[in-house]
């Protein structure tokens, strides 16, 4: 019993040191960001996965051509989706202060493994829990310094359904445009997968790991 108590105290002390004391690797993180990074594995274990699919022989094609759209990137450049023809695309709404923010690292790993055939686009949004309240410049620096992100990041915008929703998210969450799906993001780090022909094939919620079996099956990797 005494050994268990001592071990628990050491673990708690280690957690406190990690969260309270910035290191070289997490120097650009605030207290909340360090805490969420530490507890990300626990959050993933207790979260429930949701997957919506549009696959099989009766796959529903989009009403509006996905390749007619585009997005403004966080560096000010415009990304025309017509330049992505022939590649799989994953679009993810992101946030810096979320319990799922650790997925930035997994998304970057996935991107590095398959960037010849897969494009990942992160879309920072402050729509859930006020967890992305920072400027585009600060978001870009945070992602690069702490998670080594090299995949494209869009400018911060609105992904939930309202009059200011980004045009790409209108396409992703309105079946009158994508052909079958009305599901908007339910929290940060929801994922939409578009195949090589511009057809929306999957919606994966926050708790589906970018490196997990479910995601790789959806991407056919």
pLDDT digits (tens, 9 = 90+) for 64-119: 999 999 999 999 999 999 999 999 999 999 999 999 999 999 999 999 999 999 99
Phi, psi angles (nearest 5°) of residue 186:
-100, -15
Q: How many domains does the chain have?
A: 2
- The confidence score (pLDDT) of residue 65 equals 98
145 and 36 part of one domain = no
- The confidence score (pLDDT) of residue 42 equals 81
Measured between alpha carbons, how far apart are the two ends of the chain, in Å? 47
Check residue 121 and report its DSSP letter. E
Which residues span the domain enclosing 97?
50-219
104 and 90 part of one domain = yes
31 and 100 part of one domain = no
Q: What pTM did the predictor assign?
A: 0.85
Catalytic positions: 98
Distances (CA, A) of 190 to 32, 77, 99, 129: 21, 24, 13, 15
64 and 139 part of one domain = yes
58 and 7 part of one domain = no
85 and 56 part of one domain = yes
41 and 61 part of one domain = no
76 and 12 part of one domain = no
pLDDT tens for residues 174-185?
999 999 999 999
- CATH code assigned at 164: 3.40.30.10
39 and 85 part of one domain = no
How far apart are alpha carbons 21 and 13 in whole angstroms? 12
Per-residue burial over 88-104, b = 16 or more CB atoms within 10 Å of its CB, e = otherwise = bbbbbbbbbbbbbbbbb
């Amino acid at each position: 019993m005494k050994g268990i108590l001592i071990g628990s105290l050491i673990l708690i002390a280690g957690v406190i040191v990690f969260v309270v004391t910035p290191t070289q690797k997490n120097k650009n993180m605030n207290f909340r960001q360090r805490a969420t990074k530490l507890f990300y594995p626990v959050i993933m274990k207790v979260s429930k996965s949701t997957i919506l699919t549009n696959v099989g022989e009766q796959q529903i094609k989009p009403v509006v051509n996905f390749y007619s759209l585009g997005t403004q990137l966080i560096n000010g450049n415009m990304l025309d989706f017509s330049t992505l023809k022939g590649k799989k695309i994953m679009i993810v709404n992101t946030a810096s202060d979320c319990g799922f923010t650790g997925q930035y690292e997994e998304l970057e790993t996935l991107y590095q493994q398959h960037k010849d055939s897969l494009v990942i686009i992160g879309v920072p949004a402050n729509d859930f829990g006020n967890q992305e309240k920072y400027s585009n410049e600060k978001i870009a620096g945070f992602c690069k310094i702490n998670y080594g992100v090299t995949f494209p990041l869009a400018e911060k915008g609105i992904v939930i359904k309202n009059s200011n929703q980004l045009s790409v998210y209108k396409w992703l969450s309105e079946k009158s445009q994508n052909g079958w799906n009305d599901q908007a993001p339910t929290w940060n780090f929801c994922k939409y997968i578009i195949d090589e022909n511009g057809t929306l094939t999957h919606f994966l919620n926050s708790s589906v790991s970018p490196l997990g079996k479910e995601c790789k099956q959806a991407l056919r990797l």
